[in-house]
Structure 1
Amino acid sequence: MRKPNRPPPAKAQAEPDPPGTPARRAALKLLDAVLRQGLPLEAALGAANGLPNPSDRGLARAIASEVLRRLPDLDALIDETTDRVLPDDAKARFALRIALVQALALGTPPHAAIATALPLVDGGPRRLVHGVFGTLMRSGATLAEPPHLLPEVAERWSKAWGEEAAEAARANFSDRPPLDLTLADPSATAEWAEKLGATSLMPGHLRLDNADVTSLPGFEEGAWWVQDVSASLPARLIGRGEGTALDLCAAPGGKTMQLAAAGWQVTAVEMAAKRLARLSDNLARVNLSADLVEADVMRWEPQEPADAVLLDAPCSATGIFRRHPDVLHRVRPRAVADLAEVQRAMLARAAQWVKPGGHLVYAVCSLEPQEGEDVASAFTAPGFAIDPVCPEELPVGLAPNDQGFVRIPPGSLAQVGGCDGFFIARWRRDS
């Protein structure tokens, strides 16, 4: 007798992901983009833009940023709990990083942290991830405070600036940076400090605890713009003037706005169209104007020399590590050397565009001496001499070095909330 045909057994339906899993998947993509592809976190945010809920997009970014800030400490916990060291790019390691940073640093309940991380393993060793996480939770594991810097970064900065500066950088690493504002009218510093409940490190500067920028008094009328106090110094060192000024590599526009507010006729050069559009929007908000040029500085040249030239050169950006911890994971010695070569070429080119009697200012938001001191010390051009920066041109707590250059090392101004790392040099062309 023939057996009746029977339908094949139905496949078991996969359990739906727990609520909140899409944000963790986006965080995984962000971390992969930074740690495996070497992309800046900002450039990778498209992975989170597909999330319909703005709070999920913010959560994905917060998780990724905190993993990058605490990566050495997270990996130390994982490695001391597993029998065999997981590969750096293993999904199990990424999932554990994401689960642990939520439970130990972001205040997520452990059961939610692990439930939303397990789907990231995608058929891999879920039992391993669950077991390692559970072991660490039961043992009362904690993360170091403040977080440890990457070993290679700590070694590099200790060699360049001393162990005390490297420790100061680590101490500031977990602190939330304050909100710095630059005023269009420095003479109104006291008035705006009172309105906003802010402190001031120098005329034209205000410092607040973090706040919703767009809701603060003065935003709509363009009385100020957001700019770290360190980033405001290069344009300050040019001062007020009525002549022409070039702002090279100008976006997002803080220095362009400073120069325009100080009376200069500014030409701002930026090669990235999107960044130039953002600069244009910023100028419109603060009711200032400048000639905007979309061009590569190494291929463009002005019709005539200018009275002041400001080159805020492309760099490793390690000085902004507090706000953007991803920079520490992307910068390698070879990249620093390559950037320094570009900076030297840009500086030599920019010097050709300075009128006799004019000023040239070079700046980088880098904590690597190859991009700062080494580039400035090697600069030579006929008619140029160092115009030493005076202590009274800087906030209290910062000072020029013996050459008259400004180096802002890690941990500077820590007693008042810290600031970004920078290097700035100024020359005058006498002939």
Structure 2
Amino acid sequence: MTAPRPTFNPARALAVRVLTRVLAGETFAAPALDAALAQARLPARDAGLATHVVYGTLRHAPMLEAALTPLLRGETHPRARALLLAGSFEKLVLGTPPHAVVSEYVGLARGARLAPPGLVNAVLRRVERPAESDETRYALPGWLLEVFRTSYGERAGGVLSNLLEPQPLWLSVTDAGVRSLEAEGHVVEPGPNGVDRVTLARPLRETAAYRKGQAQPINPASLAVVDALGDVAEQRVLDLAGGAGVKAAMLAARGAGVTSVDLMARKHDAARANLGRLGLRADFLTHDLTAPLDVPPALLVLLDAPCTGTGTLRSHPEIKLRLTPGAVGELAALQARMLPNAAALVQPGGLLVYSVCSVTPEEGPEVVRDFLAAHPDFVPEPVPELGVPTVPAGDGVLTVAEGGVDGFFITRLRRAGPASG
């Protein structure tokens, strides 16, 4: 007689597979999880569990590693490590009953052949929260803790705690889109800066509002970068390092004539598709912005530069598992090469907005300080009210990374001379 095949929860199996790849540095969580869920087509409840386990495990990974290290000897296979981290997350953070955690993950280890069941049984029965320190409380390495404390001062404790919470889904939604989402049973709540916090009953891409171009995912702080340009209606705007074109879409929706520039042509393809879905258009150029760009100058230029992403740890927690202090310096050096080339594209009297989704002083205030010292024809000016909380940061502001709002450094730099065009 054939033995019955072991059963296990497909959501947890999917989560462990995704975690294995992310922890190995092969991919980022968002695209890996999206692809896995699209292929598996799990029921909404299971898809939600898989998402919660993946992101929760990554957010708490430094604490979970500290809890597991005393219980493991020698090398642990990456799949076994991912499984033990996920099980520890459920036991130590979610509060899933210990017997249920052991049963579920031993069954998964056996059924999916991800780890020795005996090892999983022994470790998950014994794992406990490590001795509390700032590093385990906030699940961050000490050097990153100091970055947040330096940048946010008395607001740092609230920011650091908030980074461990699940990230809301933020959507910029038309009135018709709100009605459509609510008619389908989704929950839409007003959020900061006119961006809504949305709880979906099924994947976003399956909603009518998304398909009809009535909803665009964007973090309120990212939209604040666009706000920093002021009134863009009927203005030509250069969107530098435009990536997948989300800010270009927001600018186009406000009536700007947008030219988006990025190093990677494949990002233009994604941006064109998204703009088409929204019924908008922009022009695109592929160019390495560490070299001068030969296009006519504009009155409004935005450089949202490539950065470490330390302001997005709530939505991209894997960053903190990979980032090193040395990488901060490398990105700051890259930004320092790009900023003068962006500035050269600003007409006299025009405005340059420089932003990074990072909270490190090296990538924000210090890059701008050094730029201004070498370019006396540019002067900083106050950043207007942005619709999200901010703290001062050098010659700009830093959005406060609480409540699911990302941390962005934003500054406005005005070029001397009379405006023209």
Query: What residue identity is the alignment partner of 1:97?
Result: L
* Residues 79 and 86, structure 1, Cα contact 8 Å, conserved in 2: no
Letter of the aligned partner of 1:332 in structure 2?
T
**Residue 389 of structure 2 aligns with which residue?**
397
- Give the 3-state SS of the residue equivalent to 2:195 in structure 1: strand
The SS at the match of 1:360 is strand
Measure how far apart 1:292 and its partner are: 1.9
Superposition deviation, residue 236 in structure 1 = 0.9
Which of 41, 61, 77 is matched with 1:71 structurally?
61
Partners of 1:397 and 1:112 in 2: how far apart? 42
- Select the residue among 149, 162, 167 that pairs with 2:139: 149
* Residues in 1 aligned to 2:352 and 2:196: alpha-carbon distance in whole angstroms: 28
What secondary structure does 1:65 align onto?
helix
Q: 2:87 aligns with which of 88, 99, 105?
A: 99
Contact 1:92 1:121 in 2 (8 A): no
Write the distance in 2 (CA, Å) between the matches of 1:386 and 1:130. 60
What is residue 9 of structure 1 aligned with on the other side?
none
Q: 3-state DSSP class of the match of 2:53?
A: helix
Higher helix proportion (structure 1 or 2): 2
Q: Give 1:378-397 correspondences, 5 Å limit.
A: 378-380=370-372, 381-390=375-384, 393-395=385-387, 397=389
| CA distance in 2: counterparts of 1:193 and 1:116, whole angstroms | 36
Percent identity reads 31
How far does the alpha carbon of each residue in 1:174-230 deviate from its partner, in whole angstroms, 9 at most, with x for none? 433333333679xx999999998532534xx13224235457785455344221110
Give the drift of 1:423: 0.2
Length, aligned pairs only: 400
What is the CA distance between 1:88 and its match in structure 2? Answer: 7.0
Structure 1 unaligned residues grouped into runs of 5+:
1-11, 412-416
The alpha-carbon distance between structure 1 residues 301 and 74, as it changes in their structure 2 partners (threshold 3 A), is same
Q: In the aligned structure 2, how far is the partner of 1:387 from the partner of 1:406?
A: 11
The 5 A counterparts of 1:112-191 are 112-118=104-110, 126-136=117-127, 148-152=138-142, 155-161=145-151, 164-182=154-172
Q: Partner letter of residue 233 of structure 1?
A: A
Letter in 2 for 1:101: F
Q: Which runs of 5+ in 2 are unaligned?
A: none
Counterpart of 2:362, as a letter, is Q
CA distance in 2, matches of 1:191, 1:116: 42
Distance in 2 separating the partners of 1:352 and 1:97: 49
Structure 1, residues 20-46: CA drift from partner, whole Å, max 9, x if none?
A: 46x656544543443343743346559
1:6 maps to none
Larger Rg: 1
1:313 deviates by 0.6
Contact 2:23/2:82 (<8 A) preserved: no
TM-score (norm 1): 0.78
1:245–1:265 CA contact under 8 A, matched in 2: yes
Structure 2 CA distance, aligned partners of 1:368 and 1:312? Answer: 15
1:177–1:37 CA distance, 2 compared to 1 (3 A)? closer
2:348 to 330, 347, 356: 356
Does the residue aligned with 2:362 lie in a helix, a strand or coil?
coil
- The 1:173–1:89 alpha-carbon spacing in structure 2 relative to 1, beyond 3 Å, is farther
Tell me what 1:426 maps to. 412
Whether the 8 Å contact between 1:312 and 1:363 is mirrored in structure 2 is yes
User: TM-score, normalising length from structure 2?
Assistant: 0.79
**CA distance in 2: counterparts of 1:259 and 1:249, whole angstroms:** 14
Tell me the CA shift for residue 247 of structure 1.
0.4
Take 1:107 and 1:163, find their aligned partners in 2: how far apart are those partners?
A: 35
**CA, structure 1 residues 338+259, in 2 after alignment: closer, same or farther (shift >3 Å)?**
same
Query: For 1:201 and 1:47, how far apart are their aligned partners in 2?
Result: 30
Over aligned residue pairs, what C-alpha RMSD do you find? 4.0
